[in-house]
Amino acid sequence: MRMFPPAGLIYRLRDKQVHCIEEWEIPEIMLCPNSDTTLPHPAGFTFRVRVEEHAERIVSEEKVIPGAKPEIWLMGDSIAYGFGQNDSDTIAWKLQEKLKPYGIQVRNLGVDSLGTSGIRRKMERAILCKDFAKKDCILPKAAFWIYHPSDLQDVYREIYLRNSFYGRWLFRFSVFLSRYSALYNYSKIQNENRRLKKLRSNGPETIPETLSDYPDDHPSFNEMRFFFDTCKNLNIPLTVVLYPNGSHSLTPLPSTPLLDQVSEIAKHKGIPVLDTRPDFIREYNRNKTDFYLQNDGHPNAISAKLIADKISEKILSQSF
């Protein structure tokens, strides 16, 4: 009799082929360099992730040489990384297609496991400098950070890892087990299923963007302000990109007070904002366009193209 693994187990094991631990200020999950992995997601979609030698997801079939051409950096977590999308469907790939005729090189610094402080550290490590004093550096002509509300939770994990020696070792051990143990992954799947079942019994889960009572000194917002200050100190021209997550019925959220709050924080720090929310709402109202992966909620290839189009419009309206 053939035994079939439970839904999600193969995905979890293969996902660990995409992600590796890097040891910096804290142990962080980054992309594994020189990897090529096909991921069959239990929600019903399959996607291929190719990562090049600099631990960045590829943006074209051509090899990227950092610093060889004027660069645009795309930063963020799962949205920038392109979760659930084949390489050629990601925002970064579509952006590279748009900008290639202009001699511009796109780099995808997105990693789906990072919070704001991790995104900042990833950006700092991507800077190429010719001297140790970091006075002669090659910087991007523009950088775009796609904000995602998951940082409201991710920030606490990063604070815990920063402050707890025991927590760092426990994290490393957990990653090791999840990489090599099917039994450990199976137990995590079962625990997650029980958690989701309990949540569903309490009714629909509150979507973070729809709330408006986040305190101004929330750790996530503090990390955000430090990120903005870092970009200004390094002379990296950052733009915050706002994108509407889907409702429970997978339609663009019409009201997102959290994103309004993020926009105000950015503007107060002198950071420009590219707000794609009106474009999503307008397109949905006209054509009932499907923007999200079914049974998951992450943006699909249609969303990626819309975001890439808006970013490229902003880039090409500027002179480098």
The domain spanning residue 196 has which CATH number? 3.40.50.1110
DSSP code of residue 88: G
- Ranges under pLDDT 50 in the chain: 1-4
Whole-angstrom distance, CA of residue 219 vs CA of residue 57: 29
User: Please, what is the Cα angle at 39 between 29 and 34, to 5 degrees?
Assistant: 55
pLDDT at res. 133: 60
Q: Is residue 44 part of a domain?
A: no
pLDDT of residue 195: 72
Q: Within a domain: residue 36? A: no
**Model pLDDT, residue 319:** 60
Report the alpha-carbon distance of residue 8 to residue 41 in Å, rounded.
Answer: 7
122: in domain? yes
Query: Is 23 a member of any domain?
Result: no
179: domain range? Answer: 54-316
List all residues 6 or more positions away from 239 whose beta carbon is below 8 Å from its beta carbon. Answer: 142, 143, 144, 145, 271, 272, 273, 274, 314
Query: Which pLDDT belongs to residue 6?
Result: 64
Residue 18: inside a domain: no
Pairing of strands 137-138, 35-40: unpaired
Q: Is residue 98 part of a domain?
A: yes
22 within a domain of the structure (yes/no)? no
Helices (H), the chain: 9-18, 78-81, 91-99, 116-126, 151-163, 165-180, 182-201, 219-233, 257-268, 277-287, 301-316
For residue 46, being part of any structural domain is answered with no
What is the pTM (predicted TM-score) of this model? 0.93
Closest CA to 176 of 28, 16, 32: 16
Q: How many domains does one find in the chain?
A: 1
